[in-house]
Structure 1
Amino acid sequence: MFDSTEITIVSGLPRSGTSLMMQMLDRGGIPALTDEIRTADTDNPQGYFEYERVKQTRDDPSWLDHADGKVVKMVSSLLYDLPTTHSCRVLFMRRDIDEILDSQEKMLTRLGRPAARREDIKQAFSVHLDRLLQWLPTQEHLQVLQVSYNDLFVSPNEEIGKVTRFLDRELDLPAMVDVIDPGLYRNRSSDISV
């Protein structure tokens, strides 16, 4: 049953679709907690939906006191910093790892920054995900649903249905589906067609 004091968190690896899910939930009826410091750009033309204070959660989790009933984005490595005093529902975005790496490499190239060795990053991400996905079920204050970025484009109604059932909230499903723009799915595995 929906609890208005509960916080919804969208998490995942960088470039895994967290901004897309934030936009979908915001349009669907859950207010996004953002500060709009990081603005839309070529890599995220609809915006990043970030809240800078999330990065300081370990030292100052007080922002959570103002997040009841809202959705906030948190990169996966910061989930460990969430205090057990707040109940959260976590939508954990999963995306083909090679698509994530392609997207990150293109973003770094546009920014004029070098990328680390692809295999090193892939290995680090795999270790991180394995550890995190073993830890999450042991956290009583966190309920987690894994959401496939790839499936949002292949079968959006089915994937959004899973999200709404998990959140146990009435959301504007057509508005959420309308957010999904196949034109923005630019770094796609060859075995995935939309």
Structure 2
Amino acid sequence: MTTAPDFVTVVSGLPRSGTSMMMRMLEAGGVAPVADGLREANEDNPMGYYEFEPVKDLDADRSWVAQSRGRAVKVIYKLVYDLPMEVPYKILLMRRDVTEVVRSQEKMLVREGRDPGVEARDMLVQLFQQEMQAFSEWAAERDNIEVYDVDYAGVVGDPERAAEGIAAWLGLSLDTRAMAEVVNPDLYRNRA
């Protein structure tokens, strides 16, 4: 990267949609992550979560966001609404089959000793689909937000092509080979 961009790169999507993988790709490519390492890697995310605790409190404190220009931060789609609107964002919106997302969440809950409530799966799939559609419509109306849909299965299937597309869309000179090398197809464990 030659000059720091004026925007914050936001990696967003549903939980379990590949956001941590995308953060890892961006870091390998040369975009510094905004992350604190508090949530440690585990069986569900063996390469790490790339989370930043203050993201959860965006409605109370947004002071750190403007200072994150030129970096990448993972923000779950529901919290993007709380980002300050005077900052420009380029959002990499992870798109993964919603049934796969829900199955992955259920397995994670079981490993944590919690009941996933499997009987509610169809309702949850429909809810997620509606919320993602509403989010996309909202983002399209914002002057400070650009969104690039990233197909999770497409990234896993052809990481080099995905990395090149992401770098071109961001307008950054990234190490796309390094980005592609961090994609681990073995972690695509909950296929539809």
TM range, smaller chain: over 0.9
Residue 77 of structure 1: aligned partner: 78
Structure 2: distance between partners of 1:72 and 1:47: 14
Specify the alignment match of 1:185 in structure 2. 188
Structure 2 equivalent of residue 192 of structure 1: none
Look up the SS of the partner of 1:145 in the other structure. Answer: strand
Amino acid at match of 1:120: M
Return structure 1 stretches of 4+ with deviation > 2 angstroms.
2-5
- 2:69 corresponds to which residue? 68
- 2:137 maps to which residue? 134
2:179 paired residue number: 176
Alignment partner of 2:12: what SS? Answer: strand
User: Per-residue deviation at 1:3?
Assistant: 5.4
Distance 2:57 2:149 in 1: 25
Structure 1 segment 25-174 matched on structure 2, within 5 A: 25-116=26-117, 117-174=120-177
- Alpha-carbon distance in structure 2 between the residues aligned to 1:104 and 1:7: 28
- In 2, the alpha carbon distance for the partners of 1:24 and 1:3 equals 18
Question: What is the TM-score with the length of structure 2 in the denominator?
Answer: 0.94
1:65 offset after TM fit, Å? 2.8
Identical-residue share of aligned pairs (%): 40
Q: Distance in 2 between matches of 1:164 and 1:4?
A: 13
What is the aligned-residue RMSD (CA, Å)?
A: 1.4
- What amino acid is aligned across from residue 103 of structure 1 in structure 2? S
TM, length-normalised to structure 1 = 0.93
Counterpart residue type for residue 182 of structure 2:
V
SS, match of residue 63 in structure 1: coil
Note the residue ranges of structure 1 that are not aligned, 5 or more in a row: 190-194
Please give the per-residue CA displacement for 1:73-102, whole angstroms capped at 9, x wherever unaligned. Answer: 000001111111100110000001111111
Structure 1: distance between partners of 2:90 and 2:96 = 19
Q: Greater CA deviation, 130-139 or 15-24?
A: 130-139
1:155 Cα deviation after fit: 1.9
Q: How many residues align?
A: 189
1:102 & 1:179 partners in 2: Cα distance?
24
CA-to-aligned-CA distance 1:6-42 (integer Å, 9 cap, x gap):
1100000000000000000001100001011101000
Checking the alignment, whether the CA contact within 8 Å between 2:65 and 2:84 is kept in structure 1 is no
Supply the AA of the counterpart residue of 2:63.
Answer: S
The separation in 2 between residues aligned to 1:76 and 1:167, in whole angstroms, is 19
SS in 2 for 1:62: coil
**Offset, 1:138:** 0.3
Report deviation, 1:66.
2.3
